[in-house]
Each structure stands twice: as C-alpha cells, then as structure tokens.
Amino acid sequence: MIRSEQERQRIASMEALRERGLDPYPAAAFDITHRTASLKASFGEGQKVRMAGRLMNRRIMGKASFGELKDAEGVFQLYFNRDELCPGEDKGLYNDVFKKLLDRGDFIGIEGETFMTQVGEPSVKVTALTVLSKAIRPLPSVKVDEDGTVHDAFNDPELRYRMRYVDLVVNPHVKATFEARSKIIKTIRDTFDAEGWMEVDTPVLQSIPGGAAARPFTTHHNALDIPLYLRIANELYLKRLIVGGFDGVYEFSRNFRNEGMDRTHNPEFTVMELYVAYKDYHWMMETTENLFGHIAQAVHGSTEVPLGSHVINFAPPYARVTMRDAILEHAGVDIDGLDEAGLRAACESLGIDTDDSMGRGKLIDELFGEKCEHHYIQPTFIMDYPTDMSPLTKAHRDKPGYTERFELMINGTEVANAYSELNDPLDQRARFEAQLQLSQRGDDEAMFIDHDFLRALEYGMPPTSGIGVGIDRLVMMMTNQTSIQEVLFFPQMRPEAFERSAGHADFSALGVPQAWEQHLVAAGFSTPADLMGAKPTQVHQRLNGYRKKNKLDIPALSLEEVTAWSQNAESPAS
C-alpha cells in the first residue's frame, strides 16, 4: 500500500526501537496509579505517580522537554529532563528514544513525581519511560490557543464519521457528547430499575415485522428456509411479556428501517420501550416528564437545557394539548366535525398535498405535521390521536373516534410516543384488518397482521400503558446537536472503496520478481488484469519512474522483462 512520508518515518522509528531492544508493542500490562483529570483535581507536589496514555503536543527544548499525556480522562503535562530521565552515562533513552523515535500519538507509560512549573502548570517530572504502542499514522494536529480558538480543527464530516476513532482522540467535545449519551441511558435504566421494572431482550430477527409501520430490512434463514426481517419495533413482544405476567418491562431496542437517511434518520436507531401494567396514558405522562427532568439534571445539573437558539425547560409539568385543539389553534380546522372528504378539502385549501391512499387518520397527521408540529418548542404532550392512525392504541374512554395516545413534542420534533395499550383482542383484530384495507388501498406502510400477538391478547392482557422514546433524538436534544450522526458513534455511510491489493501469488504467476510485487499496487497496478491491460512500454516506464521517485533499492526493469510478463499471462507456464 502507499505510505505517506510521515508514515514511512514512523515505521522506520518503530524498527529502530526494536533494534534497541525496545518492543514497540509490548504484551505486559502497565499498571497505573493515577489518571490525568483526577490527578489534576487532587493535585499536590511530590506525589509519586505511574500513568499511561498518548504522548501529545511535544515541546522539545534541548536537554529538557514538555509534552502532554492524554488518557481517557483528559491531558496532563509531562516534563522530561535528560539527566533526571537518564541519570547514568547513557543518555540514549532521552536523546534517541524520546526525542527521535517517539512521535505524537504514541502510547507511553511513565513514572515520575508531581511538581508545579514556574508558570503554574501542574506537571509530572518523568523518571521512567516505557513505550506501550507505536502509532504509524499521524493524528491531525488540532491546536487551541490562549483565547480558546481552535486551529486546524479536524472537522470534515466525512472523515470524522468514517474515522470516529480519530475524531474522538482529537475532538474532546465529540467525546463529551457520547459520554452524555451514556449518562442519559444510565439514568433511564437506574430510574426504571428502582421502580422494579425489568430490562428484557426480545428478538431482533422477526418473521413478522410488527409494532410499527415501516419498510423492513429483509434477510433469509437458511436452515428454516424462510425470510426474516430485522425488527422495526419491539412493541408486540414486550406486550406478550405483560400477558406473561410481568408488571413492568423495558428494552433499549435497536430498530432497523429501510428508508431514507438524513439529519434525523439513520437506518438503525435506538428506541427505549417501556410497558407497565395497570397504568394508563395519564400516568405515563407524569412518568415521562419526571424522567426527562431527571435526565436533564443528570446531564446538565439543571432542567434548563440550551438547544440551538432556544432554552428548553425540562422541569415538569409539561403542557398537555389535544390533537384537535392543536389543529384548531394552528390550522383553524376543527377535525371533529369533518369526514374524510371534508378533511381532504381542508388540507387542499391549506396547500397540503393529498392522495387517495390517505385515510382520515393520515390526513389529520398531515395537518398536524405541516401546520402544528414546529410550534411546539418547549416539551408538550399532544394527546388523543384519531383511531385509524393508532392501530395499537386503546379507544378513548369518552371520545368516540379517538384513542388514548400521546406524543411528546420538543423543539418541533417527536421524541416519544405512548398509549394506553389496546388490550381488547377483538378490537385489535378489527384494527389490523382496517390496516390491511389501507395497505390494499396503496399505503405500503400499513401494518402486517401478527396472529400470534392476537392470540396472546386473547389470553388476556391487563390494562397497560406503554411508551417508546427515541433515544438518538433525545440525546440530540440533551447535547445540543442538530444531526443524528453526531450522536451515533458509527453512523451509516456508503462503504469506503479501499484499493484491493492482489494476492501474493497472483503477480508471481506472471513472473514478476518478488522485490517488485509489493510496489506494483502502489504504482497503480492493483491486479494482474490492470498490469496486462496496459502496454508493456507503459508498464515499463511507470514502474521505473516509480522506482526512481521512491529511491527503491532494487534493480531497474528492462523492457524485455516486462514484455515477458504479458507473454506469461497469455500462455501460462504449465
């Protein structure tokens, strides 16, 4: 493969370390006594410490040097003094290993003693140095000046997402976002566990992709010879567990939907679903607002969270607005008195495109999405959705045509979706059949019928309230990010095209000398076919040009040799 100049230098340094008897990748554990940030927090002079991390940002000044040790917590300044690091006659560890053979980004282990420099920077005077892992590629050289301005930031989104490991090393704010994500999930888990609800695992591979309406990813099980789908939701499985007798179950469910990708959608995403028996959606609203208040406190130490140009106040209680009132207020339409034709006319008059596959529920959803959704910046529960857009939700206790469902809107986006769960098995069967009709009408996202789920309901499910919280979107809101890619370690990307190098035998079969094989790919001939596709004179010139440019210490090729390769290809040696 093609190595940059800096990479070649680092590989040479690695080999030089070996020649000195220093293993650049030692196997032994390196036990530490301190980490950077906590040492800084409890700093006192004269402490003996053993630490490990990446060597960053070296400043060499002759017989003394400064550098930074970067570990999982942060950075801490190291002071290397030639005569303290090498008290004897041999100054090689400082002059050669530290100054010449180590590079920015290498992992080292050090022993030393804490002290304060003249300018007041807590530091460790290093008395022993161990190479722990040599880095072959140079990290981007991000620097921050006195004013906090970042110079040469590593900020190309493509490179950052494709090489998140580099992003995390050089961009502390990126690391902080993912630490917040972890804290959010832990807060939810701790809160639910304290209530006695049980974390469960349900199938990711499902033969019926139920619980939501979306296009699934399809795969195939060879032994059973059946199609299987990656789950689009886990809802129906958690309800089966409520039937089975658990009072409260929850799961952080990685869901997969084979749809578009953008700032708020990734093909795989995480939803936390919770189901609690003997509760209704009013109870769930209180539970949700209390939970979100706790999460904001855990992440920010406050219920006020900055988000773009707004400050979101997560302190309960949140406003509760019915779907009907929301549309009445922002679109001036009273959905109560309108049938499907009336709604379609109302949508058209407001400039909302409709088509014949849209039923009453879908039309109301369009009205809300177009005219209302973006108004709800502060956390707001939108309640009581029409029956035909909520096939898994219990009918409203006193409003015919509506269900006991709410969505939590924050910053104009849906963050959670919850119901008083439908537990009437005959009603559920009728709702599924209505979905089937929608699907026949052309709505390709209407739900499949899950007969085993219906059977479970027929055995009896207690009244239950359930919620799904979009964890990725919640993390975006809690960390002031506008893109889902910023809260996923490895967002989906089109696969990167790496140059495929041919196997060793492929080129040698043509009679290419061993010394040349490793250079063919670098010179632009990835495969034997590439080599044969070019004229021998062209190959000859390109390879010898490459040899000269890279000062290769191997004999130049003659045109006869190169011509012979093509002949070998045409009539392979027996």
Partner RNA sequence: GACCUGGUAGCUCAGCCGGUUAGAGCAUCUCACUUUUAAUGAGAGGGUCCUGGGUUCGAGUCCCAGCCGGGUCACCA
Binding range to RNA, per CB under 7 A, among 118-126, 332-340, 473-481, 537-545: 118-126
Handedness of CA 156, 159, 162, 164 (dihedral sign): negative
Q: Is 196 in the site for RNA (CB under 7 A)?
A: no
Find the binder of RNA among 234, 255, 266, 435 (CB under 7 A).
Answer: 435
The span from the CA of 519 to the CA of 554, in Å, is: 11
Is 247 or 340 the residue whose CB approaches RNA more closely?
Answer: 340
Binding test (CB under 7 A) with RNA, winner from 427, 445, 506, 517? 445
Which of 141, 182, 514, 558: binder of RNA (CB under 7 A)?
141
Identify which of residues 84 and 325 has a Cβ nearer to RNA in the complex: 84
Where does this chain touch RNA (CB under 7 A) — which range of 248-256, 257-265, 316-324, 337-345?
Answer: 257-265
23 φ/ψ angles, rounded to the nearest 5 degrees: -75, 120
The whole-angstrom distance between residue 503's C-alpha and the CA centroid of its chain comes to 34
Tokens 């039937």 belong to: 243
Confirm or reject binding of residue 37 to RNA (CB under 7 A). no
The reply on whether position 48 binds RNA by CB under 7 A is: no
Q: Is 58 in the site for RNA (CB under 7 A)?
A: yes
Restricting to residues 396-425, name those near RNA by CB under 7 A: 414, 417
Q: Which residue number, 249 or 392, has a Cβ lying nearer to RNA? A: 392
Helix (H) or strand (E) run with residue 320 in it: strand 319-322
**Chain Cα centroid distance, residue 536:** 48
**Which of 57, 191, 501, 568: binder of RNA (CB under 7 A)?**
57
In Å, what is the CA distance from 426 to each residue of 209, 281, 385, 430?
21, 21, 20, 6
Subset of residues 159 to 178 that bind RNA, contact rule: CB under 7 A: 159, 161
Q: Any contact of residue 64 with RNA (CB under 7 A)?
A: yes
Interacting residues with RNA between 532 and 571 (CB under 7 A): none
CB of 350 closer than 8 Å to CB of 331? yes
* Closer residue to RNA, CB minimum distance, 13 or 420: 13
CB of 241 to RNA, least distance (A): 19
State in angstroms the smallest separation of the CB of 245 from RNA: 26
259 contacts RNA (rule: CB under 7 A)? yes
- Of 173 and 220, the one with the shorter C-beta distance to RNA is 173
Query: Residue 119 interacts with RNA (CB under 7 A)?
Result: yes
265 touches RNA by CB under 7 A: yes
DSSP string computed for 525-540:
--SHHHHHHS-HHHHH
108 within 8 A of 130, measured Cβ to Cβ: yes
Of 158-166, 186-194, 200-208, 395-403: span binding RNA (CB under 7 A): 158-166
User: What does the alpha-carbon distance between residue 464 and residue 241 come to, in Å, rounded to a whole number?
Assistant: 11
Cα 308–Cα 309–Cα 313 angle in degrees, nearest 5: 85
Please tell me whether residue 81 binds RNA under the rule CB under 7 A.
yes
Minimal CA–CA distance to 395: which of 417, 433, 422? 422
Among 59, 441, 451, 504, the residue binding RNA under the rule CB under 7 A is: 59
Run of H or E residues at 381: strand 380-383
Scan residues 449-468 and list those touching RNA (CB under 7 A): none
Which residues within the stretch 10-29 sit at the binding site for RNA (CB under 7 A)? 13
- β-strands 75-81, 122-133: how paired? parallel
Cα 263 from Cα 243, distance rounded (Å) = 38
Stretch that binds RNA, among 25-33, 185-193, 303-311, 492-500 (CB under 7 A): 492-500
Other beta carbons within 10 angstroms of residue 405's beta carbon come to 25
| Interface residue with RNA, options 77, 297, 313, 439 (CB under 7 A) | 77
Query: With contacts defined by CB under 7 A, how many residues of the chain interact with RNA?
Result: 79
Stretch that binds RNA, among 16-24, 119-127, 341-349, 456-464 (CB under 7 A): 119-127
User: Candidates 52-60, 182-190, 507-515, 538-546 — which segment interacts with RNA by CB under 7 A?
Assistant: 52-60
Rounded Cα distance, 353 and 389, in Å: 18
The nearest distance, CB 67 to RNA, in angstroms, is: 8
Strands of 384-526 (E only): list them: 405-410, 413-420, 464-470
Token pair, residue 227, equals: 């199609």
Q: Which of 277, 389, 409, 469 binds RNA (CB under 7 A)?
A: 389
256 forms part of the interface with RNA (CB under 7 A): no
Binding region for RNA (CB under 7 A) out of 3-11, 39-47, 243-251, 317-325: 3-11
For residue 142, state whether it binds RNA (rule: CB under 7 A): yes
- Interface residue with RNA among 158, 304, 329, 336 (CB under 7 A) is 158
**Residue 63 engages RNA in binding (rule: CB under 7 A):** yes
Minimum distance, C-beta of residue 181 to RNA, in the bound complex (Å): 19
Q: Which is nearer to RNA, 260 or 572 (CB)?
A: 260
Q: Does 365 bind RNA (CB under 7 A)?
A: yes
Q: Where are the beta strands (DSSP E) in 82-232?
A: 107-116, 122-133, 143-144, 150-151, 198-199, 205-206, 218-221, 226-230
Which pair of structure tokens corresponds to residue 337? 């008195």
- Our finding on whether 481 is near RNA (CB under 7 A) is no
Give the integer Cα–Cα distance in Å for 474 and 284.
17
- 500 scored as a contact of RNA (CB under 7 A): no
Close Cβ partners of 281 (under 8 Å, ≥ 6 residues apart): 383, 404, 405, 406, 418, 419, 420, 465
136 binds RNA (CB under 7 A): no
Of the two residues 426 and 493, which places its CB atom closer to RNA in the complex? 493
Beta bridge partners of 254: 270
* 3-class SS letters over 254-287: EEECCCCCECCECCEEEEEEEEEECCCHHHHHHH
213, 372, 456, 475: residue in contact with RNA (rule CB under 7 A): 213
Please report whether residue 309 would count as binding RNA according to CB under 7 A: no
Strand partners for 39: none
Which of 24, 485, 507, 510 is close enough to bind RNA by CB under 7 A? Answer: 485
